[in-house]
Amino acid sequence: MTTVTRRPEAETLPARPHRRRKPGRRRNWVTISLFVAPALALFLLLVVAPILVAIYSSAFKWNGFGGLPTDFIGFDNFTKLFSSEIFYTDMGHLLFLVVTTLVIQLPFALGVAMLLHQRIRGRALYRLVFFAPYVLSEVITGVLFSLILSPENGIANKLLSPLGLESEWLSDPGTALWSVFIVMTWKYFGFHMMIYLAGRQNIPNELIEAAKIDGAAGWKVFRYVTLPLLGPTIRISVFLSVIYTIQLFDLVWILTEGGPAHSSETLAITMFTLGFERSQVGYANAISVVMFGLSLIFALGYQRLVMRRDLEGATTAMGEHR
């Protein structure tokens, strides 16, 4: 007698419910798009489009008139630029201003910030006075110091003449670039001071007190506790200083116009002179492309080597805190 084994009926899986996109999410995306669209349109119109136009026109011999450029010359503008002496002079001035800013201006701002973090009488007034020059425009600052550093009636020579230190300042090739740096320091050190001061205030006092309990003196506390914790703040300050120096134009133009004898000229001033005074717009745009490339390379290198480490450290610290 044969027994018939019946196969169990296949279990039917419950059908997955069809997920419908919630109307709320769709409305959120529409709202986000409406808010982002105007800013994106302005960014494309005022940032991306000029960059593309500059890159395109740098491949032409063009005076800026008569519609679109037609005299295509390829990379001749860049070849001419990299073989010119003025380009390397401008790069030397850029290197000088970057180095002096990193070695003199930023440490000075850091020292003043550490001093004003202490409980001293009138520190709020000092902070206001040191930060006030940053509020002034570049043009006002340039005009002001053109009067102060005037070789004939300037206040600087009147104060320094008893010491025998009077100088031509802005009209002397040996002191013109140093004068530009002094004016830059006067205007911008207060901005960096406030950045360092904000970073110092974010350091917990418990860490400082613990270091003092362990026997660390004032300098050691600053060297081994305060300074490492200020690392991200200092790196941001360095980044802003270098980017600004690469694009430096209006302050130098008001003070010296790049003179005398190109002794204080920057890449931006060379670009302006070629484009607006000599009508060599294609050549000037080649300089602008080089300036953009320098800023982009520095920004990408900073993001890869510095910012990533800071973000990873912040993420690790948050994970340990949780």
The 3-state DSSP class for residue 232 equals helix
What pLDDT does 152 receive? 82
Contact 307, 291 (CB under 8 A): no
* Tokens describing residue 4: 């018939």
Q: How many CA atoms lie within 13 A of 277 on its CB side?
A: 7
Average pLDDT taken over every residue of the chain? 86
Q: Residue 185 is which amino acid? A: T
Does 177 or 154 have the greater pLDDT score? Answer: 177
For residue 119, pLDDT over 50 is answered with: yes
Query: CA–CA separation, 108 vs 106, rounded Å?
Result: 5
> Are 250 and 170 spatial neighbours (Cβ–Cβ below 8 Å)?
no
* CA-based end-to-end distance of the chain: 71
- Of the listed ranges 64-78, 94-108, 184-198, 275-289, the least confidently predicted one is 64-78
CA angle 307, 313, 315 (to 5 degrees): 100
pTM of the model: 0.83
129-150 pLDDT, tens per residue?
A: 999 999 999 999 999 999 999 8
Task: Give me 252's structure tokens.
Answer: 């130098």
Q: Using alpha carbons, list the distances in angstroms from residue 84 to 2, 118, 291.
A: 103, 51, 16
Closest residue by Cα to residue 172 from 259, 265, 86: 259
Fold of 83-144+175-310: MetI-like fold (1.10.3720)
Contacts of 120 (CB under 8 A, 6+ apart): 126
Q: How far apart are CA 306 and CA 300, in angstroms?
A: 10
Q: What is the average pLDDT across 286-297?
A: 94
Per residue in 166-194, pLDDT (tens digit) is 888 899 899 999 999 999 999 999 999 99
Report, as an integer, the average pLDDT of 251-276.
92
Q: Taking the domains of the chain in order of start, what are their residue ranges?
A: 83-144+175-310
Q: Is pLDDT of 21 > 70?
A: no
Cβ of 43: how many Cβ atoms within 10 Å?
A: 12
How big is the chain, counted in residues? Answer: 322
